[in-house]
Amino acid sequence: MYNRPAMQESPIHAEVEYASVGWRAAALLVDMVVLFGLLIIIVLVWVTVLVAQGRVDPGDPTAAQALAQELTWTSGWAPNAVLWCALFIYYALLEGIFGASVGKLVFRMRVVMPDGSRATGLAVVVRNLVRIPEAWMLYIPAAVSCTMSAQRQRLGDHAARTVVVRQVTDGATARRPVRRSPGRGTAAPPHPPAPAASGRRARATQAGAQAVGGAVGDERPAPVHDLGTALTALKTAALAVRGAHSTYLHFSERELAAHDGHTTGGYSEEYVSAWFTLADAVTSLRRAHAFATDVAAAAGESLAGACSAQPDLTFVLHGLGPYVEAGTDEQVHEAFLAVARSEIRTP
C-alpha cells in the first residue's frame, strides 16, 4: 500500500556530476581517518584480549616492547596483509551496501554504473581489488587517471566500468515527499480524474503548465539531426515531467487532506490541472525519448551510451523510468505511484 507522504521544503532540482579529483581526495582523507580509527579499536581489542589471557603483562616493559614490534611495518608481512585486507573490506562492504564509503557519503558522492544504476557486486569487488596497488602507490596513478578521464575514472573504475558521481543542487526548493511515522495515513492519492472534454483539458493543461514553469505540449520534437540537440530536448522533457510529478504529488496530498482520503466531493481545479499537465508531460517525454533513441541509433550508438557524457540526464531518466513506459492514463498513474514510492525509499 502506498504510504501517503508528508511534504517538506527541500531541494529537488538536483543534478549530478562526475566527482573531480579534489572531491575524491577529500573523501579519501575522511575514509583514512575512519579506517585509522577502526584499526586503533581493533588493536586495542586485541591487546585487551592478550592481557586477559595472561599472554602479555602490562607491567613488563620487555613484553610491551615485543608487542609494539609486532605491530610495526618492519615486523613482517602479517601486519601489511591485515592493513590491505582492512582497506579492501572497508570499501567493498560500504560501497556494496550503501553505494558509497563514509567519505563519499559526507560529500554526497555515489559509485554507480555508467547508466546511473547501482554498482553491481562484481564491479564493487573489482574496483576495490585494483584499489590495493593504487593505494600502495599513494594513489598517484589513480589521480592521473581521474585527471585524464572524461568521466573522472580512476584505474579501478576503468576495470570495473563504474563511475563516481556527486550530487549538486542549484539552491531551488520545492515540495518533496518524506516518509511519515508509521500509522499516519496509508491511503493512496486519488485516482486520476476521468478524461474530460477537450476544451477543459486544454484550459487545465495550460494552467498546470504555468504551475511548473513552462508549456507542455503533445507535439513531437522538431526534426533534428544532431544528437546533442536531441538529448537537450530529452532533458527538457524529463525536467518537465519532474516538475509536473512534484506538482501533482503536492495537489494529491492536498486532495487527500481536504477529503480525508475520499473523493465524493469532486476534484479541485488545481488537482485536475496538475493531472492533465503530468499526463501531457509524460507524452512529450515518451516522444522525446523515442526520438533521441532513433537519433542515437542513426549515430551508431545506444541512448544509454549517448547519455553517458551527461550524468545529470542519466540520473533524471533513471528516476523517471516508469514514466517512459507509460502509454495510457492508467499507466501514467501507476508510474506516478512507482516514482513516488522510490522517492520515499531514497534518503
- Whether 324 is in a domain gets the answer yes
Domain match, 333 and 263 both: yes
Query: What's the pLDDT score for residue 140?
Result: 93
- Whether 1 is in a domain gets the answer no
Domain match, 52 and 122 both: yes
- Whether 7 is in a domain gets the answer no
**Can you give the C-alpha Rg of the chain in angstroms?**
26
The yes-or-no verdict on residue 212 having pLDDT over 80 is: no
The yes-or-no verdict on residue 106 having pLDDT over 70 is: yes
Residue 26: pLDDT band with limits 50, 70, 90: very high
Domain match, 121 and 192 both: no
- Whether 212 is in a domain gets the answer yes
Average pLDDT, the chain: 75
DSSP bridge partners of 7: 177
CB 166 within 8 A of CB 112: no
Q: What is the dihedral of CA 47, 52, 53, 57, to 10 degrees?
A: 70
pLDDT in tens, 39-84: 888 878 877 877 777 766 666 667 666 666 655 544 556 667 778 8
Lowest mean pLDDT among 184-193, 227-236, 259-268: 184-193
Give exposure, 21-51, as e/b (b: 16+ Cβ within 10 Å). Answer: bebbebbbebbeebbeeeeeeeeeeeeeeee
pLDDT in tens, 294-312: 888 888 888 888 888 888 8
- Whether 175 is in a domain gets the answer no
Domain match, 165 and 21 both: yes
Domain match, 73 and 113 both: yes
Alpha-carbon distance of 195 to 242, in angstroms, equals 22
Domain range for 118 is 16-169
Residue 13 DSSP symbol: -
Q: Which residues contact 322 (CB under 8 A, 6 or more apart)?
A: 334, 335, 338, 339
Domain match, 193 and 314 both: yes
Beta strands in the chain (DSSP E): 6-10, 14-18, 109-112, 163-169, 174-178
Query: What's the pLDDT score for residue 173?
Result: 37
CB 252 within 8 A of CB 258: no
- Give the global pTM: 0.47
